[in-house]
Amino acid sequence: SSFPFHCRPVVHGFSRGSKQLSIPTANFPEQVVDNLPADISTVIYYDWASVGSGDVHKMVVSIGWNPYYKNTKKSMETHIMHTFKEDFYGEILNVAIVGYLRLENNFDSLESLISAIQGDTEEAKKLLDLPEHLKIKEDNFFQVSK
């Protein structure tokens, strides 16, 4: 499989208004999700990511069934910690998965889901600043994408 490096086009998600919650999540195509090893389901990871040949940013990715929304299909959704001027549907998203944050939980309210995601991004920001993780940002993988 392509774990832990991925570069795939961004596809349309479920349009359930993630952006309206200030947490846009770029979705990977279904076949990427289907090809992930079965044992890396339902988890939140922290990563480095770039769009096309753009700069490398911190990111969180959730792979799972999105229990809050009762999805029947697994999805891989990525929130990049950067404010983009425009949407980037169809562009190549380059992702280096760095480490594991937590298992995906079921949330009893939208508020608890949002605060969990905000907690994840805060923790991911700190972890990615560790020297061993910072150096992945300079990985050949991202240079080749330029």
| Interface residues toward ligand ADP, by CB under 6 A | 10, 12-15, 18-19, 24-27, 78-80, 82, 84, 87-89
Question: Which among ligand ADP, Mg ion, none contacts residue 82 (Cβ within 5 to 8 A by kind)?
Answer: ligand ADP
Q: Is 91 a catalytic residue?
A: no
SS3 145: coil
Q: Which is nearer to ligand ADP, 86 or 132 (CB)?
A: 86
Q: Which is nearer to Mg ion, 73 or 126 (CB)?
A: 73
Among candidate residues 88, 13, 97, 105, the one with its CA nearest the CA of residue 54? 88
Q: How far is the CB of 77 from Mg ion (least distance, A)?
A: 5
Question: 95 near 48, Cβ under 8 Å?
Answer: yes
**Segment 15-34, which members bind Mg ion (CB under 5 A)?**
18, 25
Distance of CA 124 to the CA centre of its chain: 11
Q: Which residues are catalytic?
A: 77
